[in-house]
Structure 1
Amino acid sequence: MSATQTQTHGPHSLAFRVMRLCKPSFHVDPPLRIDPFDLLAGEDFSDDPSSASLFRRHVSSADAVDSDLSYRNRFLLNHPTDPIGLSGLLLLPQSFGAIYLGETFCSYISVNNSSTSEVRDVTIKAEIQTERQRILLLDTSKSPVESIRTGGRYDFIVEHDVKELGAHTLVCSALYNDADGERKYLPQFFKFVVANPLSVRTKVRVVKETTFLEACIENHTKANLFMDQVDFEPAKQWSAVRLQNEDSTEDPPTSGLSGLIPKPPVIIRSGGGIHNYLYKLNPSADVSGQTKFQGSNILGKFQITWRTNLGEPGRLQTQQILGAPVSRKEINMRVVEVPAVIHLNRPFPAYLNLTNQTDRQLGPFEVSLSQDESQMEKPVGINGLQTLMLPRIEAFGSNDFQLNLIASKLGVQKISGITALDTREKKTYELVPEMEIFVESG
């Protein structure tokens, strides 16, 4: 990690050394293998027939069958693991590496005394600085290190959950007394950049009263990500169900083990691998009327957890995902119920609901059938009194009422044109949505 040091009051006796703690990686051998005999003989040994025949006399008969001193067998794959190149060894990190949002930054810090004298009363601090905040990781002010001898050191480990993108600075400072009793202050700065491990792109589609949310997760790291959890947490006015391909659900054949065997995680490949998730959202029935009618377009947010190849965890929470702006009318009028069988030219009752979707009182209302010039003869009309009076409706309240209707045409017809006039504010609201009925002959 790159470091900068501020010199104050001459050279310092102490110095900070920082090493990032992270999992090792698998050591990969090059695919071209060598024969152990190449270490004993020259590269042109196999080109001399007399030397090759002399060597075969000194090997056992069993080995002689499989021994081929030419180079043609060097490229044969004798074991399924040969193409992978994995040697079975682990390789310690050789560089600071990349740090991603959602990971836990863990660092081993050592304060070394490289001078020829002992230092005393050492107060050590370590903190992370970002563009928005400063997070204290270690502070020994209340219990300073008594002394660090010549050639000695004081070691400690700090951890920080990375929750911001961009430039970060690990600030390590020491306040101590040198051999002359002078109080000195040593700050050192170690800078690193936090990158985004994945991106979440969303699409929202509305089909009638159902909202579909598609999320595409793309891996920006150089390692595979094993997705432990991709959960969508809907806002309180929504309920969400994840839609999955039926062919992708593989249950064990024995039902007794179905709860014991965990499902394999979804793997998103390194360097741009993607995986799509689809959710179905419906308005929640458990929220109050006021919340339901406020018209908020907030759908919810994702909680995502994953692990890398060697199990290092990561976690991200997205910002609130917004859907299309919801435009709510002040008054909603809809048909609740009609008879299952409707006969031509016979009156039938229709049960309707008038809902106030504002925070103020509305009404009284006059319910009637609109008479447009283009639709003078409606297939479904009001039977009897053409106007029905309804009382005032409180804020976010509703009123159920009944209309006697009559159908004048056979087949599939629509109940439409029913309006409610607010007599006080002189506003007219129409029935939404239209409802289809089937009219049979009498």
Structure 2
Amino acid sequence: MSGGGGGAQQAAHSLAFRVMRLCRPTLHVDTAPLKFDPCDILFGEDLFDDPIAASHLPRLLSSQSNTSISDPSDLSYRSRFLLHHPTDSLGFPGLLVLPQAFGAIYLGETFCSYISINNSSNFEVRDVIIKAEIQTERQRIVLLDTSKTPVESIRAGGRYDFIVEHDVKELGAHTLVCTALYSDGDSERKYLPQFFKFIVSNPLSVRTKVRNVKETTFLEACIENHTKSNLYMDQVEFEPAQHWSVTALKTADHSLEHSLLMGETFKEPVLIRSGGGIYNYLYELKFSSPHSTQVKVEGSNVLGKLQITWRTNLGEPGRLQTQHIVGNPITRKEIELDAEEIPPFIILDKPFLVSLNLINLTERVLGPFEVWLSESDLLDEKAVMVNGLQTMTLGEVAAFSSMKFELNLIATKHGIQKISGITVFDTVEKKTYNSLLELEIYVDSQ
């Protein structure tokens, strides 16, 4: 491919750059009309309705095949539309086509180009300094610079070839700038710039959804293919941020089938079809250690990022890394209340003990505490009440420690009932913790 230069001044130059993009070839598609077998015309489908005619079919086919055999080199009009082999109907003659232009260039690919600088004059040029670089809106990247080791000479009608590579990491307009500084036949020093412009597009889009279920975070990633070629996902892995652990969730039949057929060393790539094909990935994230929830996250809740690698139909590789994926804000807990033991049998109007555990999730000492059942819940339901003193006093709880205690309760209604409204009050910080725990119990009438 030739590029833009210096207008009329370029015609006076002895040298010129020619650029060809190096990428995997494409399959050549035969544009000839649909080919046919002469037997399809000579023998109709109703031939099988007549048993006598059908019995002569093998002889007719053998005679027709003998007469239809032609020289493969015969390029006559008649031979062009005949099926010489069953695969001819596919329209793929088995030829590969090299790229005729830059084509579509996508983010994450490796741009590889074969550059030839030709001497079209009748005399030799000497001391050629060649420079090739990629210019984007943000930066300029040097791909080749022979300033320290110039090309000694390029003879008349000769050329100098080289290959450059660049990992495409930016979207938008790119310019491949090729320059040559040389001495012509009159020993005059000349400067030749040429520019080759192309656009880098996004091959795919990644949409994410984050859902929190108690202490577990679920991340759904939807990948959509925007290219004109099928993409085969070799790897779509989520790299969690600090304090997070991740598990990729798959359907049970899918993971079992592939583990048996492919083993653990080989993963079959996932096909995402061209022109808007999509595929969804689901990840389960949890805090990597019990104390990770206590780590104060400054700013946003960063979950991690996706590493995506793929190949096209003929194996052209690509790789992308998403930006940090941010989850829902972390609601930092200071205390937690767990049920340690509940009696298996609870009788109506008879006291019972519930063993609870108060956990301090902070780095400081909390308490003393007061514990009671909120009055609103008692007035609404009155199914489970405190038996005895309405307020229980607890001592201090050290950092990252816990304290066990028992509530003396009594049930006033039989059946399935709820123990709710347990309130914990910090008498030092004057802070109330509501709705820490809800329990369901079954109350027997006898």
Aligned CA distance change for structure 1 residues 367 and 308 (closer, same or farther; 3 Å): same
Aligned CA distance change for structure 1 residues 303 and 132 (closer, same or farther; 3 Å): same
Contact 1:23 1:312 in 2 (8 A): yes
- Name the CA distance, whole Å, in 1 between partners of 2:240 and 2:123: 63
1:135 corresponds to 2:138: no
- Partner residue in 2 for 1:120: 126
1:313 to 303, 311, 317: 317
- Name the CA distance, whole Å, in 1 between partners of 2:345 and 2:297: 33
Contact 1:342 1:348 in 2 (8 A): no
1:353 corresponds to 2:358: yes
> More deviation in 413-422 or 121-130?
413-422
1:192-235 residue CA offsets vs partner (Å, 9 max, x unmatched): 10011111222233344433322222111111111111222233
- Partner residue in 1 for 2:369: 366
- Partner residue in 2 for 1:337: 340
Contact 1:170 1:190 in 2 (8 A): yes
- Partner residue in 1 for 2:420: 416
- Partner residue in 1 for 2:306: 302
One-letter amino acid of the counterpart of residue 416, structure 2: V
1:217 corresponds to 2:250: no
Aligned CA distance change for structure 1 residues 349 and 328 (closer, same or farther; 3 Å): same
* 1:438 Cα deviation from its structure 2 partner: 4.0
Contact 2:339 2:354 in 1 (8 A): no
Matches within 5 A, 1:240-319: 240-249=246-255, 251=257, 259=263, 262-285=266-289, 288-291=292-295, 296-319=300-323
- Name the CA distance, whole Å, in 1 between partners of 2:274 and 2:262: 31
- Partner residue in 1 for 2:169: 163
Q: Which secondary structure does the structure 2 equivalent of 1:115 belong to?
A: coil
- Name the CA distance, whole Å, in 1 between partners of 2:4 and 2:18: 12
Aligned CA distance change for structure 1 residues 261 and 290 (closer, same or farther; 3 Å): closer
Contact 1:363 1:393 in 2 (8 A): yes
Aligned CA distance change for structure 1 residues 340 and 18 (closer, same or farther; 3 Å): farther
Matches within 5 A, 1:180-195: 180-195=186-201
- Name the CA distance, whole Å, in 1 between partners of 2:223 and 2:167: 22
* 1:309 Cα deviation from its structure 2 partner: 1.1
Aligned CA distance change for structure 1 residues 97 and 387 (closer, same or farther; 3 Å): same
- Partner residue in 1 for 2:206: 200
One-letter amino acid of the counterpart of residue 19, structure 2: V
1:71-94 residue CA offsets vs partner (Å, 9 max, x unmatched): 999989896634431111112222
Contact 1:382 1:403 in 2 (8 A): no
Aligned CA distance change for structure 1 residues 386 and 153 (closer, same or farther; 3 Å): same
1:89 corresponds to 2:92: no
Contact 1:29 1:87 in 2 (8 A): yes
- Name the CA distance, whole Å, in 2 between partners of 1:246 and 1:9: 65
* 1:23 Cα deviation from its structure 2 partner: 1.1
Contact 2:35 2:88 in 1 (8 A): no
Q: Which secondary structure does the structure 2 equivalent of 1:143 belong to?
A: coil
One-letter amino acid of the counterpart of residue 408, structure 1: A
One-letter amino acid of the counterpart of residue 369, structure 1: W
One-letter amino acid of the counterpart of residue 274, structure 2: S
Matches within 5 A, 1:9-28: 11-28=12-29
Contact 2:373 2:386 in 1 (8 A): no
- Name the CA distance, whole Å, in 2 between partners of 1:284 and 1:295: 20
- Name the CA distance, whole Å, in 1 between partners of 2:131 and 2:189: 16
- Name the CA distance, whole Å, in 1 between partners of 2:230 and 2:10: 49
One-letter amino acid of the counterpart of residue 215, structure 1: A
1:154 corresponds to 2:160: yes
- Name the CA distance, whole Å, in 2 between partners of 1:170 and 1:382: 83
- Partner residue in 2 for 1:226: 232
2:384 to 369, 372, 379: 379
Taking structure 1 as the reference length, the TM-score comes to 0.80
One-letter amino acid of the counterpart of residue 245, structure 1: T
- Name the CA distance, whole Å, in 2 between partners of 1:300 and 1:121: 52
Aligned CA distance change for structure 1 residues 147 and 407 (closer, same or farther; 3 Å): farther
Contact 1:230 1:302 in 2 (8 A): yes
One-letter amino acid of the counterpart of residue 20, structure 1: R
Q: Which secondary structure does the structure 2 equivalent of 1:375 belong to?
A: helix
- Name the CA distance, whole Å, in 2 between partners of 1:287 and 1:424: 24
Matches within 5 A, 1:36-115: 63-64=63-64, 67=67, 81-115=87-121
- Name the CA distance, whole Å, in 1 between partners of 2:232 and 2:83: 29
Task: Give aligned-pair identity as a percent.
Answer: 56
Aligned CA distance change for structure 1 residues 2 and 147 (closer, same or farther; 3 Å): closer
Aligned CA distance change for structure 1 residues 213 and 110 (closer, same or farther; 3 Å): same
* 1:164 Cα deviation from its structure 2 partner: 1.1
Q: Which secondary structure does the structure 2 equivalent of 1:230 belong to?
A: strand
- Name the CA distance, whole Å, in 2 between partners of 1:384 and 1:239: 45
Contact 1:225 1:307 in 2 (8 A): yes
- Name the CA distance, whole Å, in 2 between partners of 1:290 and 1:104: 43
Name the structure where helix makes up a greater proportion of residues: 2
1:263-307 residue CA offsets vs partner (Å, 9 max, x unmatched): 432211111122222233333336635437768533322211111
> More deviation in 240-249 or 90-99?
240-249
* 1:402 Cα deviation from its structure 2 partner: 1.9
- Partner residue in 2 for 1:49: none
1:153-205 residue CA offsets vs partner (Å, 9 max, x unmatched): 21110111111111111111222233333333322221110011111222233
- Partner residue in 1 for 2:430: 426
Aligned CA distance change for structure 1 residues 10 and 415 (closer, same or farther; 3 Å): same
Aligned CA distance change for structure 1 residues 101 and 307 (closer, same or farther; 3 Å): same
- Name the CA distance, whole Å, in 2 between partners of 1:186 and 1:346: 98
* 1:392 Cα deviation from its structure 2 partner: 6.3
> More deviation in 109-118 or 361-370?
361-370
Contact 2:115 2:161 in 1 (8 A): yes
- Partner residue in 1 for 2:45: none
Aligned residues: 412
One-letter amino acid of the counterpart of residue 24, structure 1: P
RMSD: 3.7
Contact 2:36 2:81 in 1 (8 A): no
Contact 1:420 1:430 in 2 (8 A): yes
For structure 2, the residue ranges without an aligned partner over 5 or more in a row are: 39-60, 70-76
